[in-house]
Amino acid sequence: MSQSSQNSAKLTETTSDEMESSFDVGIIGAGPAGAGAAYALCDSDATVTVLEKSGGVCGRAATRRKNGCRYDHGANYIKDADPRTAELIPTLGTEELVDIDEPVWTFDETGEITEGDSRDEHKWTWTEGMTQLAKRLFAETDVNINHRTRVADISRVEKAWTLTDTDNTDYGPFDALLLTPPAPQTVTLLEATAWQDTRLETLMSAAADVEYRTIRTVVLHYPFMESYPWYGLVNVDKEHPVGWLSREECKDGHVPAGESLFIAQMSPEWSTNRYDDPVDVAGADTASHVAALLDDERYENPDWIDDQGWRYALPENGIDNRAARVAESAGLYIAGDWIVGEGRVNKALWNGYDTGTRIANALSLSQRS
């Protein structure tokens, strides 16, 4: 046999072995949980396909550009709230990594502003915004991301999962399927699943019990900049129309010099009542509250406004681990911050990562048996 033939035979043999040891995983959602799961699977033999209904990644950790500004209008930053996060973020690359120096202070129902606590914690984002978290995690993998793809139906045939989108395009079959949208949207997907099994009913029932706070973010821009000793203000008694106020000019690369850009995340009550108001009406009311809070009437008149509604912003409660994992033996998984009941980027990220690890371990074991 010639050397060329030997090489071809070896390549064929290797490819055959790799095909026998590989498996396919489908992930619905490219937010922090989906990105975390894909990152956990990158060292396995999995071929991972992600279906994302929007044109971007990172879910509520969102970044937008407008009029020369870049701003994080969902999750404002990611904290080093746990050792894994503190270790991970620098490994994704320190270039363009922003650590916000100014502290977060508090205010109450009356608008009285006081200094926050003295904890020295990182508040990370990037010059190009919070979407860099998912982008950098996905960049470490070989996943296939299908944007603007909305799943309409899920089916299970011969122990494999197949997805059909609203354009009637099929994806799969997948050995394992992971759902990462917020709980109400996950319930909708589970209702569209053609699988008659009590485990599916248990999963739907658990997800349906998760309640959410609605948040409407209003972005206010001003052609001037005032100096303050704080980056953000948080309402501690939850009785003020403004729940959170922060200054994007504290983040390198986000706002041109001499300008101000406020991110006002309004209270759940205000957001629910004003969710469908036109942006100019909601913006004017928000600006009046901000002006009163900062005791400066100039803030009543922003030169431009933007907004984003988050119907399912923050989960109020989580679900039992047994219920969350009830269908994993059939290759059906769920992940997200709503599993643990705490609306934090790092919670979604690591719940996704840990779920991705379980997927890799389960499929690896099944192939050995």
**pLDDT tens-digit series, residues 229-257:** 999 999 999 999 999 999 999 999 999 99
Q: Are the CB atoms for 213 and 313 separated by under 8 Å?
A: yes
Has residue 60 been placed in a domain?
Answer: yes
Q: Alpha-carbon distance 108 to 161, whole Å?
A: 50
Asked if the structure places residue 6 within a domain, the reply is: no
How many separate domains does the chain show? 2
For residue 178, tell me if it sits in a domain.
Answer: yes
Which helix (H) or strand (E) covers residue 216, if one does? strand 212-222
Residue 323: Cβ-neighbour burial (10 angstroms; 0-12, 13-18, 19+): middle
| Judgement on whether residues 224 and 291 belong to the same structural domain of the protein | yes
Q: Which helix (H) or strand (E) holds 218?
A: strand 212-222
Which residues span the domain enclosing 324? 21-68+130-211+317-369
* CATH code: domain of residue 84: 3.90.660.10
Task: Please tell me the distance from the alpha carbon of residue 122 to that of residue 100, in angstroms, as a whole number.
Answer: 7
Q: What is the pLDDT of residues 182-198, one digit of tens each?
A: 999 999 999 999 999 99
CA distance 243 to 234: 6
The Cα 133–Cα 335 span in angstroms is 17
The verdict on 228 and 178 lying in the same domain is no
**Domain shared by 222 and 299, yes or no:** yes
DSSP string, 238-273: S-SSEEEEEEGGGSTTTS-TT-EEEEEEE-HHHHHH
DSSP label at residue 286: H
- Check whether the bond before 173 is cis (ω within 30° of 0): yes
For residue 233, tell me if it sits in a domain: yes
Asked whether residue 12 is domain-assigned, the answer is no
- Report helix, strand or coil for 230: coil
Which pLDDT band holds residue 119 (cuts at 50, 70, 90)? low
What is the model's pLDDT at position 41? 97
Distances (CA, A) of 362 to 41, 153, 203, 285, 320: 12, 25, 19, 52, 20
161 plus 184 within the same structural domain: yes
Q: Are 39 and 107 within one domain?
A: no
One domain for residues 179 and 220: no
Q: Is the pLDDT of residue 9 over 50?
A: no
Same-domain pairing of 238 and 311: yes
Taking the model in full, what pTM does it have?
A: 0.90
Answer yes or no: do 140 and 118 share one domain: no
- Mean pLDDT (the chain) is 92
Shared domain check, 293 and 263: yes
